[in-house]
Structure 1
Amino acid sequence: MFQALSNVLLPVMIVAGLGALLASRMQIDQVTVSRITMYLLIPALVLDVILQTPVKAAEAGQLGLAFLLTMGLSLALGWLIGWGRPDAERRSLSAAAGIWNSGNMGLPIALFAFGDRGFDQATVVFLVSIVAMYIVGPAIYGSASKSGQKYGVAGILKSVFRLPTVWVALVALGLRLLNVPLPEGITRGVSLLAQATLPLVLLSLGLQLGAGGWPPLNRRVWLASAARLIGGPLIALGVGSLVGLRELPLAVLILSASMPTAVNALLLAQEYGGDSETVAGVVLVTTLGSVLTVAAVVALLPGLG
């Protein structure tokens, strides 16, 4: 476990920790940082990986299906934890247990743990998670946003296809299927942007955590945190084995499902009228607790990967 902490988690903790320190000392325009990451760097990373990755379509589809099933069961587990609680809190507990950080933490940890092959497959998981997150958010809350707008099927589709990452992924898949090469100058520029993605997403994570206060913690928050950090990888192990994943793809799925609750889950709760304090508490507990739980998962995965 010490080796997992030092070799895999320590680089992530250093970069994110510096971001948190910076946010605690000075005002940082987090909106701009997030927009650069979401609308420029992540699309570049997705384009670069899809065009360069050796992951086969069938394997990617199998991995994506396993992720969606794992996410669905995690959402259901969070819903059970919120049984008997007010509706907004129950929905928020479900989202907190079922939406995890497969990007900011999942990608770099997969790279450090499994190398380039694991990183390629983790990017497939991340791409599926982006689309799933923006479907789950409006669907699970099913209420009006701050603007009073209702989010039906049309609203959900609009929120998904508003993301440049989705369009870039579709274009990249088309280019790959048609075997159409891009000019070398373009691919080099895309690769430069892609290489900047992981440091900036980790800094962004640190900035978000460093700027937040200390939310109230209660028994439900601790239970949802346990569901995320312990229940998540156990569900992934069962689901991955059931759908036929073996070795590295199974290990990548389990590692992804062991990640803490995503800060985006908090943003979704704020947007769609959820219990943002409850989600903030789960984000805080799982982010701190993942230092130990993710290290334990990484230490136990070599036999699979």
Structure 2
Amino acid sequence: MLQVVTGFAVIWVLVLVGYLVARFGLLGDAGQATLTRLAFYVLAPALMVSTLARSSPGRIFTAALATFVLSTLAVSALHVLFARLRHNRDVADLTVGALAAGYVNAGNLGIPIAAYILGDVGFIAPVLMFQVLLASPTALAVLDVATGEGRPSWRRLAALPLRNPLLIGSAAGIAIMLSGVDPPRPVLEPFALLGGAAVPMTLLALGMSLRGSRPLRSGPDAAERGAAVLLKSVVQPLLAYLIGRFLFGLDGPMLLAAVVTSALPTAQNVYVFASHYGRNAPFARDVIVLSTAVSAVTLVVVAALLG
């Protein structure tokens, strides 16, 4: 229990420091965007390379991933049903809502959580791969058609994963792992040094992004916002536990990994997608902020009960 509390204390202290940095303008208006881009394009991919290169296939492709995928599909479908019945939303809004309820922050928060709580960022790699290779292209294809952007280009959709540095870093690390080659220390050491900065940098950037948000404002989408946060932060980890424990027979670290990854908050990419297509962007932003706050509690509870 002490290890769990210590791990989360480190995480949320760094998030608080990031918030204070933004609150007092220490890095200027572009500070948060700069830190996010540095972590996303350089530091986190380096961490994935250095970690996965020394891992093994049995720790990457597991029933924990299947558990995560099934729980994601379940909560996304539940939010679509709720929004359709309550407000008769169109396909584009339903897609943004489904993403808000099930698309997790595997990068900015998933990597630090995996490092401090699960003890291995390799647990987050399959989640990233599923979201980037399958979830993102599918959602963008639906949004393209639903918003009148025309029939999506298969070439553009196929190129989406190639523009994601985290996936590229994960793929490179897995390729080294599967090759059976043990790279000399001078080869992997630069990646390890850069990767060591990924966790604090992403947490600082996450904290900075929380400044100025008003997620509890009233409005016509308040019920859907609450439903998305409840599904993402409470229902999905509960479903993951039930699926992992009773369908796949998971226990120990694998069950913990499945539930923790499912309990991660909504990813910032959902806001990017919603903004690009001009559909429900404020809703997406508020769900991200609220689910991030709620996850501070749910993740501690999960880790304390299963860790």
Is the pair's TM-score, using the shorter chain for normalization, greater than 0.5? yes
- Does the Cα contact within 8 Å between 2:53 and 2:175 map onto a contact in 1? no
Task: Rate the CA distance shift 1:14–1:113 in 2: closer, same or farther, 3 A.
Answer: same
Counterpart of 2:42 in structure 1 is 40
Shift in alpha-carbon separation, 1:36–1:155, aligned structure 2, 3 A: same
1:245-284 equivalent positions in 2, closer than 5 A: 245-284=250-289
| 2: CA distance, partners of 1:240 / 1:187 | 34
Q: Which residue of 1 aligns with 2:152?
A: 151
- Is 1:103 the counterpart of 2:107 in the alignment? yes
Structure 1 residues 199, 149: closer, same or farther in 2, change over 3 A?
farther
Larger deviation, residues 250-259 vs 269-278: 269-278
The answer to whether the Cα contact below 8 Å between 1:23 and 1:210 also exists between their aligned partners in 2 is yes
The match for 2:193 is 192
Following TM superposition, by how much is the alpha carbon of 1:214 offset from its aligned partner in structure 2, in angstroms? 4.6
Post-superposition CA distance 1:247-266 (Å, at most 9, x none):
21121110111122122211
Aligned to 2:166: 165
Deviations 1:255-303 (A, max 9, x none): 111122122211121123320111122112212222222222222113x
SS at match of 1:56: helix
Q: How many residues align?
A: 297
Worse-superposed segment, 185-194 or 98-107: 98-107
Shift of 1:98: 0.9
The one-letter code matched in structure 2 to 1:121 is F
Q: For the residues of structure 2 that align with 1:74 and 1:154, how far apart are their CA atoms? A: 30
Residue 14 of structure 2: aligned partner: 15
Q: Deviations over 1:176-204 (max 9, x none)?
A: 22222333212111100111111111111
Change (3 A) 1:71 1:140: farther
State the Cα distance separating 1:5 from its structure 2 match.
Answer: 7.2
SS of 1:60's equivalent in the other structure is coil
Match of 1:80 in 2: 81
Note closer, same or farther for the CA distance 1:187–1:104 as it changes in structure 2 (3 Å cut): same
Gaps of 5+ in 1: none
Shift of 1:54: 4.1
Distance 2:268 2:47 in 1: 20
2:229 to 222, 225, 231: 225
- TM-score w.r.t. the length of structure 2 is 0.85
8 Å CA contact 1:48, 1:187 repeated in 2: yes
Contact 1:144 1:150 in 2 (8 A): no
The DSSP-based 3-state class of the residue aligned with 2:124 is: helix
Aligned CA distance change for structure 1 residues 239 and 200 (closer, same or farther; 3 Å):
same
Unaligned 5+ segments in structure 2 are none
What is the letter of the counterpart of residue 43 of structure 2?
L
Note closer, same or farther for the CA distance 1:300–1:52 as it changes in structure 2 (3 Å cut).
Answer: same
Task: Calculate percent identity across the aligned residue pairs.
Answer: 24
Partner deviation per Cα, 1:68-90 (whole Å, 9 max, x = no partner):
22222221122122124222433
Q: 1:286 aligns with which of 277, 285, 291?
A: 291
CA distance in 2, matches of 1:143, 1:273: 14
One-letter amino acid matched to 1:122: I
What's the TM-score, normalizing by structure 1?
Answer: 0.85
What letter matches 1:135 in structure 2? P
Give 3-state SS (helix, strand or coil) of 1:100's partner: coil
